[in-house]
Chains A and B, each alone.
Chain A
Amino acid sequence: MRYLIGILLLLLLVLHQDNWFWEDDTLVFGFIPIGLFYHACISVAASVTWFLATKFAWPHGLSDGAETSQQGSNT
């Protein structure tokens, strides 16, 4: 599943470079320029991807802080 999230993320970064809408001045719903609308959708897609990441690729074995040492503060 981690690989799938990684692929989704890479896809998002590729889709971010939307050369295909570069010179398009269409107004979606009559008021949002398509280049702006597309990137607003990228923002929503980013949230969805990160939601999937927190559901299926959450790191395991993290410290819960129960064993706090002073090592760091002494260095």
Chain B
Amino acid sequence: MTQLVIIVAYLGLLLLLGLGASLLFRGTSKDYLLASHSIGPFLLLMSLFGTTMTAFALVGSSGEAFKEGIGVYGMLASSSGIIHSLCFFVLGIKLWSWGHRFGYTTQIQFFRDRLQNDGIGLLLFPIIVGLVIPYLLIGVISSGVVIQSMTGGAFPELFPTSNPGTNGGVPPWIGSLVICCIVLAYVFFGGMRGTAWANAFQTIVFMVLGIVAFYVIAMKLGGQPTFLENLRVCSDAVAHDKVSRIDMSKTKFLTYLLVPLSVGMFPHLFQHWLTAKSASSFKLPIVAHPVFIMIVWVPCVLIGIWATTSLVPGKPPLPKIPGTDIVNANAILPFLVKTQTSALLGGFLTAGILAAIMSSLDSQFLCLGTIFTGDIVGHYVGNDRLTDRKKIWLARVFVTAIVAVTYGLSLLPQRSVFGMGVWCFSGFASLFPLVLAAVYWRRLTAAGAYASVLTMIVTWFVLFRQSGFGHHRSFTVDIPVGGVTYETMPVLTIFVASAVALVLVSLVTRPPDERTLARFFGTK
């Protein structure tokens, strides 16, 4: 019950923050969608970091470390530290500058303008929406699961289940609904400013609570008087395969470096970039992002490998995937918090996990609402024919509809949505050559862009099908060279195919109009 009270109090606070942000609302669509380009370095850092760190940063990192060992840090975290900042530096600043000058609110507006082609918007629209929706679903479903497991035992008569770990917990359909409503409320009223404020607050919450949980769990598992002694006892007990990367493929590790390039094409990050007050606002996020990732991930990875040791009490047993005898790795962190810490900290950490989930959901909901408003209705009805007030209300209606559809989809049986995560990221990462070429390559043509996107779709679908539509979670593309087979992430094949198609078709088609190029790059 304590956990539930803390969760409710936290959500209430968040709602107040979102509504508080709406008091600064200037009544224009630019303010609602882009916070009037008023976001300074600190808020930009927190909102970019909060948006890129999903629930996976807390729950998934410890879960993956439990399964794979410490190698997950290099594969997912230190690589992201380098590549995310690269995207902010190489793409973010340039796109912000053009967005500011030409008045963009979405990626599609940029591509239509840069390539002087209307159809590219229609091609990109379903792809972007289609790749964001599974990502949204993961967040919505995770929030319900986390709330149920952390409130287990609170209402045994009201919400009975056959699983002792979740018996009496608030059912996922209620938990997910509450989270959707809270996020919708502060996005609806606060727009981008509410989202940025909420992201900053939530990022601080999940970073601080992650560290506190790490300290408390280490003290409890180790059973020694000092923190350092406990750290040593816990790590000493871990088996060799978890403190090394003996079971991890080196080529898979190498090719995973391409996955974080997805950040360059995330539509919600594009929108966050445009909120920056000045180009200099990017400096702090670019520098601090890798270290922030380290602060969140290192403690979670250590907790994950400690959970594999005999230091974790046998009773209650580790949570299992329903209907199987396999440990549910994604439930490791909530389980340890619940069994090894107090109800009070358990409540706060649940709030931290929900914070990580919501700080990504809000931006994604707002961004899809913006795309529908600007790229479909605004574009075809005519932006000039829509008043600012109408644009704001259209965005609100679309955001509400997207929240409702996502919530509805989350209630359907979901067997493969979690396996979709890396596929969504691979799709976005394989569109990176397109955005990079659009920003730096004068010779890019609309035909080259079409070829790149279509090649990406076809290769992505072929490999996705081969993986059993995401069911085969450790699917790799195996490349035999000189009698040795190298395992590679599917993103490598899709990325290379998309990049080659872009370059070849651009080179054989008519060069772009000089006047357009001059607008973006100046005259030669």
- Residues of B contacting A75 in the complex (Cβ-Cβ under 8 angstroms): 109, 112-113, 118, 379
| Chain B CB within 10 Å, residue with most, of A17, A30, A46, A59 | A46
Task: Say how far A69's CB is from chain B's closest CB, in angstroms.
Answer: 6
Partner of B70, one of A30, A35, A65: A35
Q: Which of B13-21, B95-103, B182-190 makes up part of the contact surface?
A: B95-103
Q: What per-residue 1/0 map shows which CB atoms of A34-75 lie under 8 Å from chain B?
A: 011011101110110011011000110011110111111111
Min CB gap A72→B, angstroms = 4
B374 at the interface (CB under 8 A from A): yes
Is B101 a contact of A13 with CB atoms below 8 Å? no
Residues of B within 8 A of A64 (CB): 100, 278-279
Give A13 to B93 CA distance when docked, in angstroms.
22
Whether the pair B103, A69 counts as a contact (CB closer than 8 A) is yes
Give complex CA distance A64, B288 in Å.
Answer: 23
Q: Is B82 an interface residue (CB 8 A)?
A: yes
Q: How far is the CA of A42 from the CA of B288 in the complex (A)?
A: 13
In the complex the two chains form, what is the Cα distance from A4 to B257 in whole Å?
A: 22
Give Cα distance in the complex from A35 to B102, angstroms. Answer: 46
Give chain A interface residues in 2-49, CB to chain B under 8 Å.
9, 12-13, 16-19, 21-25, 27, 30-33, 35-36, 38-40, 42-44, 46-47
Is B78 a contact partner of A46 (Cβ separation < 8 A)?
yes
Cβ of A44 and Cβ of B290 under 8 Å apart? yes
| Contacts known (A39-B78, A50-B286, A63-B97); A72 close to B245, Cβ less than 8 A | no
Compute the total of residue contacts between A and B using a CB distance below 8 Å. 166
Given contacts A23-B245, A73-B109, contact A62 B290 (CB under 8 A): no
- Give the contact stretch, choosing among B169-177, B234-242, B403-411: B234-242
CB contact between A65 and one of B100, B245, B253, B290 (< 8 Å): that residue: B100
Contact of B245 among A22, A63, A73 (CB under 8 A): A22
Q: Is the beta-carbon distance between A46 and B70 smaller than 8 angstroms?
A: no
CB <8 Å contact, A62 and B109:
no
User: With A46-B85, A53-B89, A59-B94 in contact, is A67–B290 under 8 Å at CB?
Assistant: no
Query: Which residues of the other chain, A, contact B460 by a CB distance below 8 angstroms?
Result: none
Chain A residue at minimum C-beta to C-beta distance from B85:
A50
Given A18-B74, A59-B93, A71-B103, A35–B232 Cβ distance below 8 Å?
no
- Among candidates A36, A46, A47, A69, residue contacting B298 with C-beta atoms closer than 8 Å: A36
Give bound CA distance, A3 to B236, whole Å.
Answer: 44
Chain A residue at minimal CB-CB distance from B29: A73
Q: Which residues of A contact B11 (CB under 8 A)?
A: none
Chain B hits for A74, CB < 8 A: 383-384
CB distance from A54 to the nearest CB of B (A): 4
Contact: B246 with A23, CB < 8 Å?
yes
Residue of A nearest to B375 (CB): A75
Closest CB of chain B to A4's CB: distance in Å? 15
Q: Which of B81, B244, B278 contacts A46 (CB 8 A)?
A: B81
* B82 pairs with A25, CB closer than 8 A: no
Q: Are A17 and B102 in contact (CB-based, < 8 A)?
A: no
Q: Are B89 and A31 in contact (CB under 8 A)?
A: no
Binary interface encoding of chain B residues 294-319 relative to chain A, with 1 for a CB under 8 A from any of its CBs, else 0: 10001001100100000000000000
B422 touches A (CB below 8 Å): no
A72–B253 CB distance below 8 A: no
> Does B100 lie within 8 Å of A68, measured CB to CB?
yes
Of A31, A38, A47, which contacts B287 at CB under 8 A?
Answer: A47
A31–B228 alpha-carbon span in the complex (Å): 8
Cβ–Cβ < 8 Å partners of B291 in chain A:
43-44, 47
**Once the chains bind, are B235 and A31 in contact (CB under 8 Å)?**
yes
Determine if B98 and A63 form an interchain contact, defined as CB atoms under 8 angstroms apart: yes
Report the minimum CB–CB distance from B121 to chain A (whole Å).
Answer: 9
Q: How far is the CB of A32 from chain B (nearest CB, A)?
A: 7
Q: Closest residue to B111 on the A side, CB-wise?
A: A75
Find chain A residues with CB under 8 A from B86 CB.
Answer: 9
How far, in whole Å, are A12 and B102 apart by their CA atoms in the complex?
A: 35
A50 touches B287 (CB 8 A): yes
Q: Let me know if A16 and B245 touch, CB within 8 A.
A: no
Q: Which of A25, A33, A43 has the most CB of B within 10 A?
A: A43
Out of B77, B254, B384, name the residue touching A43 (CB < 8 Å): B77
Sample of 12 further A-B pairs with CB below 8 A, known A16-B74, A72-B99: A16-B82, A19-B250, A32-B235, A33-B305, A35-B73, A35-B74, A35-B245, A36-B298, A46-B82, A47-B81, A72-B110, A74-B384
Residues of chain A having any CB pair with chain B under 8 Å: 9, 12-13, 16-19, 21-25, 27, 30-33, 35-36, 38-40, 42-44, 46-47, 50-51, 53-54, 58-59, 62-65, 67-75
A–B Cβ pairs within 8 angstroms, 13 of them? A9-B82, A16-B78, A16-B82, A23-B245, A27-B232, A27-B235, A31-B234, A40-B298, A43-B81, A43-B290, A68-B102, A72-B103, A74-B383
